[in-house]
Structure 1
């Protein structure tokens, strides 16, 4: 009986909150599309550990955004992107600085982001993005210098192909948007944390963890299709 009362109270609260929200929120139907481009600063979380330094890659593609309402001073909406993105790692061992190995991994990625902004409709806005991201591995390139010829053994990760091509994780960041009559210009920084491993990670496998971690800096241009 207590459970039923709790559910009933929750439904009544929701029924009260929805019209109140509709009254306070200023409804918007702003749909914008455009393109984005930037750089990734990559590393990979390996277990066992692989010594490495940051690897730079490119990131760019298409962006679509829908603004649904302004709630007090907060502008609420959603954003989706379709990007080509380079991940991977660059190995560096202080004990053997002559050795070089670079793996660049190419993905098609789809971030699904909540968009929360503060500021004027025309002028500068501060915004926050957060949400899930999925990716699909399409290809990779490997660079290995001749110094490795002096070693009889090859590290496990060098000749190992990607085994899990579907990548997923969470991403979030913040930035500034300049809204003008000529369009909207965004500058943003994000961090992507992969929850998936690109190598198999069962008990019989060598790596128990092989996941991307990426700092993203990008610029986006959007133009309004519907205001």
Structure 2
């Protein structure tokens, strides 16, 4: 984890050397999360908050590394009672996105993400040891710039790695059916 944080700092530091080509900002918003795979999970509502750097590469293309705190997880129907069982996972996510300006206002983006598990709870009980410490995903989304500083966005993160620390998978079908993070994020961002 230390290497990833140092890499993120290095990317942000690189931005300072190209200050006229780089803008920094903060963002936050709503997460609608569940586990994909062969399970009956229901959505949980969470949030994400963090910062980013938008590094201009060419006229319409930027690279946007981010550092986000994200609440994720899923809810399951409890058998035999009316209460749901909530699995709440908190991550520090580091996505690195290619951001393309279709017009000055409308953008599309995509790129990989690595997440580091901070905590995991099942109905308030610590279950962090049952989950993998890192999570891999791929993001794709779109955004709209109302002004040069204020924008909104929608992003979907497809989980690429299973979240449960279950060891090896017997075959490819076990991998496909394993629980993976699935996150739909609606965000607002402000660039300085």
Give the structure 2 partner of residue 36 of structure 1: 27
Matching residue within 139, 163, 167 for 2:119: 139
The unaligned stretches of length 5 or more in structure 1 are: 1-28, 145-157
Radius of gyration: which is bigger?
A: 1
Matching residue within 115, 130, 146 for 1:178: 146
User: What CA distance in whole angstroms lies between the structure 1 residues aligned with 2:53 and 2:127?
Assistant: 38
Check whether the contact 2:34–2:182 (CA below 8 A) recurs between aligned residues: yes
User: What CA distance in whole angstroms lies between the structure 1 residues aligned with 2:134 and 2:112?
Assistant: 14
Per the TM alignment, residue 190 of structure 1 is displaced from its structure 2 partner at its CA by: 0.6
Where 1:174 maps in the other structure, the secondary structure is strand
Check whether the contact 2:144–2:152 (CA below 8 A) recurs between aligned residues: yes
Distance change >3 Å, CA 203–CA 69, structure 1 → 2: closer
Per the TM alignment, residue 30 of structure 1 is displaced from its structure 2 partner at its CA by: 2.3
Per the TM alignment, residue 100 of structure 1 is displaced from its structure 2 partner at its CA by: 2.0
Matches within 5 A, 1:115-130: 115-120=99-104, 125-130=105-110
TM-score, with length taken from structure 1: 0.67
User: What CA distance in whole angstroms lies between the structure 2 residues aligned with 1:211 and 1:33?
Assistant: 31
User: What CA distance in whole angstroms lies between the structure 2 residues aligned with 1:212 and 1:60?
Assistant: 18
Per the TM alignment, residue 160 of structure 1 is displaced from its structure 2 partner at its CA by: 8.1
Give the structure 2 partner of residue 100 of structure 1: 84
Give the structure 1 partner of residue 168 of structure 2: 202
Check whether the contact 2:48–2:69 (CA below 8 A) recurs between aligned residues: yes
Per the TM alignment, residue 201 of structure 1 is displaced from its structure 2 partner at its CA by: 4.7
Matches within 5 A, 1:1-227: 30-47=21-38, 49=39, 51-70=40-59, 75-92=60-77, 96=80, 98-120=82-104, 125-143=105-123, 161-180=129-148, 184-199=149-164, 200-203=166-169, 208=175, 209-223=178-192
User: What CA distance in whole angstroms lies between the structure 2 residues aligned with 1:186 and 1:167?
Assistant: 27
Per the TM alignment, residue 46 of structure 1 is displaced from its structure 2 partner at its CA by: 4.1
Check whether the contact 2:135–2:162 (CA below 8 A) recurs between aligned residues: yes
User: What CA distance in whole angstroms lies between the structure 2 residues aligned with 1:68 and 1:80?
Assistant: 13
User: What CA distance in whole angstroms lies between the structure 2 residues aligned with 1:160 and 1:218?
Assistant: 27
**RMSD of aligned Cα (Å):** 2.5
